Amino acid sequence: MTVPPTMVTIGSGNPSARRFVGKDCVVTGAGGGIGRAVALRLATEGARVAVLDIDLEGARETLSLAGADHKGFAAKLDVRSEASIAAVAAQTAEAFGGVDVLVNNAGIEVLGTIAETAPDVWDEVMAVNLRGPYLCSRVFLPHLLARASAKGGAAIVHNASLMGQVSSPRLAAYCASKAGLISLTRSMALDFAKQNLRVNCVCPGIVHTEMLERRFALQPDRAEAYRVVSQRPPVNYIGNPEDVAAAIAYLAADEARFVTGSALTIDGGVGAA
């Protein structure tokens, strides 16, 4: 695998940056992949993190990687369920007393044209990728607005995709869900700007996680599939979860106070072509 020269290892972050000291953060889909890298980046920079995933074991593993002295917690969360989100929001309020940052990262990818995508599969993709961020934002909103009022700022960052900005064959439901999430980012940014709640999203290109490995597993030759995919970005390598975590941390941090309603592309130049 060709790795970017500046690649950081999971959890290392930037040792000099401590932008999240005194901040309480919530990350969905944090049991692996990009969500895990985000949780660890925020923890490394001083945050208390609620590490949430439908896969509780994965969430617990992420929490353990944050170190024994980390003051966050891991919990099971299904972003499709309002009751599940409400239960975790109550647990977070009890543990942290509020929320400064919500990262809506949980997502699923399903391949197919509309002809190949049955209505229940379409609904499932929307339920996780678009309704999930809407529901989580809605349930956590009072906690975020309270912190925004008390401290002068709070932030939501959605994990959308380059596939919400451009498209790709046989990815109809996924692309539509991510385009919707980019649009939702703008609506939310406008609706809550006056209350000091910023809302942004990231649009990653090809990132090496289990989601990508599941795609490779469908190919007859995994090594060849990897080789072809890694040559697609103009930079000549695919991203790692830490590349996306760095961008999410920036958008969540106070230094991005003038940034709201934006979609930050992190794709090694794929979308520029």
Ligand X SMILES: NC(=O)c1ccc[n+]([C@@H]2O[C@H](COP(=O)([O-])OP(=O)(O)OC[C@H]3O[C@@H](n4cnc5c(N)ncnc54)[C@H](O)[C@@H]3O)[C@@H](O)[C@H]2O)c1
Nearer to ligand X, 34 or 47 (CB): 34
Stretch that binds ligand X, among 19-27, 74-82, 113-121, 248-256 (CB under 6 A): 74-82
Among residues 98, 153, 204, 233, the one that binds ligand X under rule CB under 6 A: 204
Which of 26, 207 has the CB closer to ligand X? 207
CB of 269 to ligand X, least distance (A): 15
Q: Of 48-56, 145-153, 227-235, 256-264, which part binds ligand X (CB under 6 A)?
A: 48-56
250 an active-site residue? no
How many CA atoms, within 13 angstroms, populate the side-chain half-sphere of residue 255?
A: 8
Q: Which amino acid is at 270?
A: V
Q: Applying CB under 6 A, does 74 fall inside the site for ligand X?
A: no
Q: What is the secondary structure of 197-237 as a DSSP string?
A: EEEEEEEE-SB-SHHHHHHHTTSS-HHHHHHHHHTSSTTSS
Do the Cβ atoms of 27 and 105 come closer than 8 Å?
A: yes
Q: Note whether 170 binds ligand X by CB under 6 A.
A: no
3-state DSSP helix/strand/coil % of the chain, to nearest 5? 50, 15, 35
Contact with ligand X (CB under 6 A): which of 8, 23, 27, 35?
35
In terms of Cβ atoms closer than 10 Å to its own Cβ (0-12, 13-18, 19+), residue 261 is middle
Q: How far is the CB of 85 from ligand X (least distance, A)?
A: 9
Of the residues 174, 226, 237, 250, only one is catalytic, namely 174
Taking each continuous run of H as one helix and of E as one strand, the counts in the chain are: 9, 7
Residues 41/13, Cβ–Cβ less than 8 Å:
yes
CB of 183 to ligand X, least distance (A): 16
Cα pseudo-dihedral 117, 131, 188, 186, rounded to 10:
-10
The torsion angle over the Cα atoms of residues 14, 54, 171 and 242, rounded to 10 degrees, is 10
Distance CA 258, CA 164 (A): 23
Phi, psi for 249 (deg, rounded to 5)? -60, -40
Give whichever of 13 and 35 is closer to ligand X, judged by the CB atom: 35
Q: How far is the CB of 147 from ligand X (least distance, A)?
A: 23
- The residue count for binding ligand X (CB under 6 A) is 30
29 touches ligand X by CB under 6 A:
yes
Residue of 102, 207, 248, 251 that binds ligand X (CB under 6 A): 207
Cβ-contact 102, 50 below 8 angstroms: no
Nearer Cβ to ligand X, position 161 or 200?
161
260 binds ligand X (CB under 6 A): no
Active site residues: 174
Q: Which residues in this chain contact ligand X in the complex, by CB under 6 A?
A: 28-29, 31-35, 53-55, 58, 77-80, 105-109, 128, 159, 161, 204, 206-207, 209-212
